[in-house]
Each structure stands twice: as structure tokens, then as C-alpha cells.
């Protein structure tokens, strides 16, 4: 029977450490979130981040913009936040409306304030890569010489930061889309599966290797339920699995806040 990786417990430990650091060192640190439009899921994610920041003593300001905001208007706001010395981290809640140039927006953020670590040459490790690393290390399983498959709808964008951080632990990684011809064979050969495809319970026990570790990043809302990409029946075959909700999500928020403190430290060094 597979074991559950408790993301809520891991996130609480990270938040406690951050809160203690902020309190003990008297750090005044602020995060600015930009929310464009009225997508309910995006609004929920920003509220969760605001709540977590408040609990550890971090200032959190939400800048809510209309759905018809232009790229140039958004860039003007980012320029203002870049220049604001009371703002140490900036996050743009994705996805943005289709008419906005997301790449230009992300590239406009001061690299030392890029809380998500999205920029190609960011001095910070991307949050999602840290999340995957943290969850895997929490199992205390040896990672050296393991084989990982990163399954995503846009693996060329999503996979490289995760592959890079896993390579530091001796993990060999491959990336694929869910409909690739060789994906079934890849799954059967993978000790670790990191999946983010937004297809509820797509991954089933007959598709995975015995004792695989499953990191479920997928989120789909069906009625009142939030479902991941991994079918819970995989517990019969897998050694470890993250739940949805309660797995990746809380750790993502906690490590985002940790990155904001790293931004603060970078800016102190520069000044």
C-alpha cells in the first residue's frame, strides 16, 4: 500500500521557519500580487497566498486589474513595483487573458523581485522545481540513478527547471506529452512520475512501475470536487503519492514565500 506525501505538514514546517526568521530578525518584507480579470480559480489562489503571507508576518498587496487591461498598462504597473523599495517580490497570477503578452510581462519583472523564478536567467530557483525536489526528498527514498518522467501538456516549457534540479540528485529525466506514442512504455520504466496535464484520474495502476513515486500537479474542478491527474487506486502499486488537494498546492505557496525572502536578501546585498 502506497504512502501519502503530506504536503500540508511540509508546508506548515516551511511557514513556521519563515515566520520565525521574519519575527526574530525584524524583517519588513512585502510581496505584490497582480491579478488580471475575474477568473475564480486565480482569485482563490491569490487569496490563499495572501492568507499564508499574513500568517508569517509578510506584507501582501493585491493589485486587481480589469479583464481588458492591455500589455502596456500591465508593464507600467510592473515598472512601478520594480521601483518601489517596499516591494521585495512580485508575482503575476497566471494564466493572463489571451490578449496579454505573458512573456513580455514576466521578462519585465526585476530579476531580484521575480518571486516565481519564471525568468530564464533568474537568480532564484523556479518555485515548482523546488516543490518537486522538496516533496521527493521528504520521502527519504534514495534518488541517485532513479528515472523520472515529467508528463505535461507543454513539456518543453514546464520540464527543464524540474529536470535541472533533479539532475543535481543524480536523477535521469525524460519529458513527454500525455498523447505521445511512447508514453506508456516511458511510464512503465519510470521510478518517479511528475504529472501536470489537467486530466482527472488519468494515471492508473496499470500504467505505472511497481513502487513508483507519483507527484500529482494536475488540478481539475468537477462540481464541488477538486481532482488530480493520478487515480487514488495507484496506491496499490506506487510507493508514494501526493494527494489533490493537500499535496503540491500548500508546498507551492510556502516555497513562493520562501523565494520572496530570498528576493529580500538579494536586494539587501545589492543595496
Residue 253: name the closest of 169, 134, 136 by CA. Answer: 134
First to last CA, the chain: 53
Position of cell 521557519? 17
- What is the grid cell recorded at 254? 510556502
Pairing of strands 30-36, 59-65: parallel
Annotate the chain with three-state secondary structure.
Answer: CCEEECHHHHHHHHHHHHHHHHHHHCCCCEEEEEEECCCHHHHHHHHHHHHHHHHHCCEEEEEEECCCCCHHHHHHHHHHHHHCCCCCEEEECCCCCCCCCHHHHHHHCCHHHECCCCCCCCCCCCHHHHHHHHHHHHCCCCCCCCEEEEEECCHHHHHHHHHHHHHCCCCEEEEECCCCCCHHHHHHCCCEEEEECCCCCCECHHHCCCCCEEEECCCEEECCEEECCECHHHHHCCCEEECCCCCHHHHHHHHHHHHHHHHHHHHHHHC
219 is in an annotated binding site: yes
Q: Which residues are annotated as a binding site for NADP(+)?
A: 219
Provide the annotated binding site.
219
Amino acid at each position: 500500500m502506497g504512502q501519502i506525501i503530506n504536503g500540508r505538514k511540509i508546508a506548515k514546517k516551511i511557514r513556521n521557519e519563515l515566520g520565525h526568521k521574519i519575527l526574530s530578525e525584524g524583517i519588513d518584507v512585502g510581496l505584490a500580487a497582480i491579478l488580471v480579470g475575474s477568473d475564480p480559480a486565480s482569485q482563490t489562489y491569490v487569496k490563499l497566498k495572501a492568507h499564508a503571507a499574513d500568517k508569517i508576518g509578510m506584507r501582501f498587496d493585491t493589485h486587481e486589474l480589469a479583464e481588458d487591461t492591455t500589455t502596456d498598462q500591465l508593464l507600467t504597473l510592473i515598472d512601478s513595483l520594480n521601483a518601489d523599495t517596499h516591494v521585495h517580490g512580485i508575482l503575476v497570477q497566471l494564466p493572463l487573458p489571451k490578449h496579454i503578452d505573458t512573456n513580455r510581462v514576466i521578462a519585465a519583472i526585476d530579476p531580484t523581485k521575480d518571486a516565481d523564478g519564471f525568468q530564464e536567467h533568474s537568480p532564484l530557483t523556479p518555485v515548482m522545481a523546488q516543490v518537486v525536489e522538496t516533496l521527493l526528498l521528504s520521502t527519504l527514498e534514495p534518488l541517485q540513478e532513479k528515472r523520472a518522467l515529467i508528463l505535461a501538456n507543454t513539456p518543453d516549457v514546464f520540464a527543464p527547471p524540474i529536470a535541472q534540479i533533479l539532475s543535481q540528485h543524480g536523477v535521469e529525466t525524460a519529458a513527454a506529452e500525455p498523447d505521445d506514442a511512447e508514453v506508456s512504455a516511458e511510464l512503465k520504466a519510470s521510478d518517479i512520475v511528475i504529472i501536470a496535464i489537467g486530466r482527472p484520474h488519468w494515471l492508473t495502476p496499470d500504467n505505472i512501475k511497481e513502487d513508483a513515486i507519483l507527484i500529482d500537479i494536475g488540478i481539475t474542478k468537477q462540481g464541488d470536487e477538486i481532482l488530480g491527474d493520478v487515480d487514488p487506486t495507484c496506491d496499490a502499486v506506487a510507493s508514494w503519492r501526493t494527494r489533490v488537494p493537500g499535496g503540491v498546492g500548500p508546498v507551492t505557496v510556502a516555497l513562493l514565500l520562501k523565494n520572496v525572502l530570498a528576493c529580500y536578501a538579494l536586494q539587501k546585498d545589492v543595496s
